Amino acid sequence: MSNKDFPYTPLNPDKKEIRVITITPEKHPEKPLRCSLQIVSLNEHPKFEALSYVWGDVVATTEISVENLPFNVTTNLAAALRSLRHLKKPRTLWIDFICIDQENTKEKNKQLPLMGRIYQDAIAVVAWLGPQTENIEHTDLMMRDKFPTGKKGSSSSSSILDEIRHITKAPFFSSSSSSSSTASRRRQELVSTTRAIEGFIEIVSAPYWKRVWTFQEYYLPSVEPVCICGSITFSLPALVSLHKHFLGLLQPFMNDINAMGPKENDAADAAEYHELRTRSGEFTARLREFATMQGFAHDIASLRKSSWSFADVLDLTVERQCFNPLDRFYGLYALVPGIQEKYPANYDNTPEIAMLQTSMFILIHEGMDFVFNLFHFHEASSRGLVVDGPLPSWVPDYRNSTVRSGFKVKSLDKGLEDWETKEGRMTNLSLLPFKFVLHFWARLVGRCRVVFRFAADLADIVDRVVTVSSSNNSSSSNNNSSSDNNTGLSWGNGLDSSNFRARFLWACLAHTILQQNFTLEEVFAELTDLHQALRAGDDIPRKPHTSCMAELVRGLRQLAGKTVFCLPDSGVGGFGTGIGAIQDEDLLILSGKMMNPVALRELGTKKMGDSDRVHYEMVGNVFVEGLAEDQRESPTPLLGELKDREFEEYRIE
């Protein structure tokens, strides 16, 4: 799809000019869409609405008329324009796909910094979720029945609640409803309600709630955007309110369906009945899709509570999607204006350059070292090129969140924090040929010796955890060295055996909520039961019988491939868990602004000016037992030793 021959009139960036589109009114909905373009200056406070929407498939297009010339738009945008077109008066909107020349990279680079102001200055923002489907039409009909005068707005989702309450309270079996005609009518009510509920689930699981751009566009306006799906209008808070009550309201409705059997010797009625039961079961299973919309609303609310760093915003939006990899960053620029001032959007950049610039902004200008703990790092084989050299190892993989992969662990003791910016101890960069070298200040935690790596199979993981935490002197084979024993007593750093079981078990489960909610005895009892069941060849139940077991199984699965290491050069003892790439002699460091240590690997000595300095590469995140905030009442010797250590400069390529 291309509109490269469309004659756009150039914009004047100095005047903050944008284009707006005016939809020509039409009484007949089947008539073609006709629009006109005007250039306006944001400095003159023009009146327009802004459309927030998902482009959709750029291959599937519809032709409309813009300035009496053919113009191709996506099918989803065409549906939005038809829905937004008034019967008698023009409607003026800002729509990125039409108002920005998508074939002109220079113009896109100039228009993107204005996005925040466009959505903030618009008199209204319309969030288009998509066209009506057959199911959503049933949702609309239900609301029209409830409001025959055509009342619409943010109460629409409440009307669905009222209608569900009405239908689910109507008893199917009663002396006055035993006739076949009444039963048939009741069946039709249930079928129609099923369709309406399915339509509502389609609304709350729409692609709109999953995108990067729509997240920023919804957040920016000072007035809550109006959500539209086909001809239905509602607000996000109303959807969230409905989510809180939906399952409870549906239960009597489901009971009624289950109680209503098919007519005897009526094949058609039996088929309809079984279809109704199947579909009602399907939409009950799909209720988890509420999480898509609920997560969107939760993240918007979280962002509005306080100012966020760009590192936090990237973590908050890590699962949101975008077509262009650059929009992982540029699609969020308006939320943290400082970054677009330092590194303006440039669609000629590669994703690697955008990642590098983002990391430089976060580490050097925001000073948020904890970004290293929010994301994993690229493997050496997958690093792209920047300026004819490889992407630095210290640039995080902003699509690979530690939270989502089960490596967001407990917070450190507050005594290890140091947020003060000190002269001569600031993160900075230097350049070697084709290399960006990060000058990073941190404390040395210790050097690793790998004890073992967890296998991928749950049974093997459970067996390893039970064996290590239960035994004092037993030994077993090791992935790296067959001479390594399974307990801290033999890990070469004088660990005290008196509480080793608790320390090891909580270290393995530091990424879970088990320690906050259950005692050591409860967790170990569940672990023992799980171990015995797996050794007997039993399957893990799909729905574990306790919440403790459910969280335990989830947490243990996330240990697959991870490394257990010790710190043999520490006289006070230390051990922990890390990513699978950890090797012997890897260095663990911790800055005053990080949530947990990271591992470095020596690359050798490099000449920098008049001196030779050791350079390192970033390996990945680790958790070191004994440094956590929840251990402050009985601090480990390692914690005390680390607090007394000086910060050193590490040069990371």
Tens of pLDDT along 91-128?
999 999 999 999 999 999 999 999 999 999 999 999 99
> According to the model, what pLDDT value does residue 171 have?
42
Indicate whether 456 and 574 sit together in one domain: yes
Indicate whether 473 and 495 sit together in one domain: yes
Cα–Cα distance, 346 to 357 (Å, whole number):
11
| Residue 627 included in any domain | no
Indicate whether 162 and 117 sit together in one domain: no
Residue 471 near residue 487, CB atoms below 8 Å = yes
Residue 636 near residue 626, CB atoms below 8 Å = yes
Note the pTM of the prediction, 2 decimals: 0.85
As a whole number, the mean pLDDT across the chain is 85
- Classify 547 in phi/psi space as left (phi over 0), alpha (psi -120 to 50) or beta: alpha
> According to the model, what pLDDT value does residue 63 have?
96
| Residue 286 included in any domain | yes
Indicate whether 67 and 158 sit together in one domain: no
> According to the model, what pLDDT value does residue 405 have?
78
Q: Which of the two residues, 267 and 391, has the higher pLDDT score?
A: 391
| Residue 357 included in any domain | no
The pair of structure tokens assigned to 310 is: 């760009």
Which ranges in 471-578 belong to alpha helices (H)? Answer: 500-508, 514-517, 520-535, 547-557
> According to the model, what pLDDT value does residue 174 have?
38
Amino acid at 407: F
Beta bridge partners of 587: 447, 600
% pLDDT > 90, the chain: 56
pLDDT digits (tens, 9 = 90+) for 552-578: 999 999 999 999 999 988 777 789 999
Closest CA to 552 of 520, 595, 596: 520
Q: Which of the two residues, 358 and 501, has the higher pLDDT score?
A: 358
Average pLDDT over residues 592-601: 95
Indicate whether 165 and 290 sit together in one domain: yes
Cα–Cα distance, 573 to 634 (Å, whole number):
15
Q: Residue 444 is inside which H or E element, if any?
A: strand 435-447
**At 614, is the pLDDT very low, low, confident or very high (cuts 50, 70, 90)?**
very high
> According to the model, what pLDDT value does residue 478 have?
41
> According to the model, what pLDDT value does residue 276 have?
74
User: Is 471 a residue whose pLDDT tops 70?
Assistant: no
Phi, psi of 18 (to 5 degrees): -135, 170
Average pLDDT over residues 213-236: 92
pLDDT digits (tens, 9 = 90+) for 421-436: 676 677 888 877 678 9
Closest CA to 186 of 200, 214, 166: 166
| Residue 355 included in any domain | no
Whose tokens are 């109507």? That residue is: 170
Q: Which of the two residues, 122 and 497, has the higher pLDDT score?
A: 122
Indicate whether 177 and 291 sit together in one domain: yes
> According to the model, what pLDDT value does residue 240 have?
83
> According to the model, what pLDDT value does residue 155 have?
45
User: Is 180 a residue whose pLDDT tops 80?
Assistant: no
Which ranges in 260-388 belong to alpha helices (H)? Answer: 267-285, 290-305, 310-316, 327-330, 337-342, 351-360, 371-374
Indicate whether 98 and 146 sit together in one domain: no
Average pLDDT over residues 47-59: 95
User: Is 42 a residue whose pLDDT tops 50?
Assistant: yes
Residue 394 near residue 341, CB atoms below 8 Å = no
Q: Which of the two residues, 523 and 178, has the higher pLDDT score?
A: 523
Q: Which of the two residues, 26 and 139, has the higher pLDDT score?
A: 26
User: Is 213 a residue whose pLDDT tops 80?
Assistant: yes
Indicate whether 114 and 158 sit together in one domain: no
Polymer length in residues for the chain: 653
Q: Rank 45-54, 470-479, 623-632 by mean pLDDT and report only the highest.
A: 45-54
**At 327, is the pLDDT very low, low, confident or very high (cuts 50, 70, 90)?**
very high
Q: Which of the two residues, 408 and 59, has the higher pLDDT score?
A: 59
Indicate whether 458 and 561 sit together in one domain: yes
> According to the model, what pLDDT value does residue 475 have?
39
> According to the model, what pLDDT value does residue 534 have?
92
User: Is 146 a residue whose pLDDT tops 60?
Assistant: no
Exposed, middle or buried: residue 497 (CB in 10 Å: 0-12, 13-18, 19+)? exposed
> According to the model, what pLDDT value does residue 435 have?
86
**At 170, is the pLDDT very low, low, confident or very high (cuts 50, 70, 90)?**
very low
> According to the model, what pLDDT value does residue 122 have?
98
**At 522, is the pLDDT very low, low, confident or very high (cuts 50, 70, 90)?**
very high
Cα–Cα distance, 595 to 193 (Å, whole number):
50
Q: Which of 548, 567, 584 is the last residue of a domain?
A: 584
Sign of the four-CA dihedral 247, 248, 249, 250:
positive
Residue range(s) defining the domain that contains residue 547: 449-584
pLDDT digits (tens, 9 = 90+) for 60-103: 999 999 999 999 999 999 999 999 999 999 999 999 999 999 99
Q: How many CB atoms lie under 10 A from the CB of residue 489?
A: 16
Exposed, middle or buried: residue 289 (CB in 10 Å: 0-12, 13-18, 19+)? middle
DSSP class of residue 289 equals G
Cα–Cα distance, 606 to 628 (Å, whole number):
35
The pair of structure tokens assigned to 78 is: 């065409």
Q: Which of 72, 100, 122 is the last residue of a domain?
A: 122
| Residue 394 included in any domain | no
Closest CA to 198 of 146, 134, 150, 261: 134
Closest CA to 579 of 393, 370, 375: 375
Cα–Cα distance, 618 to 380 (Å, whole number):
10
Helix (H, G, I), strand (E, B) or coil at 90: coil
Closest CA to 624 of 456, 413, 476: 413
**At 27, is the pLDDT very low, low, confident or very high (cuts 50, 70, 90)?**
very high
Total domains in the fold of the chain: 3
Cα–Cα distance, 615 to 439 (Å, whole number):
10
| Residue 384 included in any domain | no
Average pLDDT over residues 236-250: 74
Cα–Cα distance, 182 to 178 (Å, whole number):
7
Indicate whether 109 and 243 sit together in one domain: no
Helix (H, G, I), strand (E, B) or coil at 653: coil
Q: Which of 536, 556, 584 is the last residue of a domain?
A: 584
Indicate whether 83 and 148 sit together in one domain: no
Average pLDDT over residues 493-518: 84
Cα–Cα distance, 447 to 425 (Å, whole number):
23
Q: Residue 84 is inside which H or E element, if any?
A: helix 75-84
Q: What is the dihedral of CA 598, 574, 503, 376, to 10 degrees?
A: 10
The pair of structure tokens assigned to 105 is: 């990279």
| CA–centroid distance for 418 within its chain | 29
User: Is 265 a residue whose pLDDT tops 60?
Assistant: yes
| Residue 116 included in any domain | yes
Indicate whether 159 and 179 sit together in one domain: yes
Beta bridge partners of 564: 452, 577
| Residue 223 included in any domain | no
DSSP class of residue 217 equals H
Average pLDDT over residues 148-177: 48
Strands across the sheet containing 49-52: 69-74, 61-66, 34-41, 17-23, 91-94, 49-52, 124-130, 226-229, 232-234
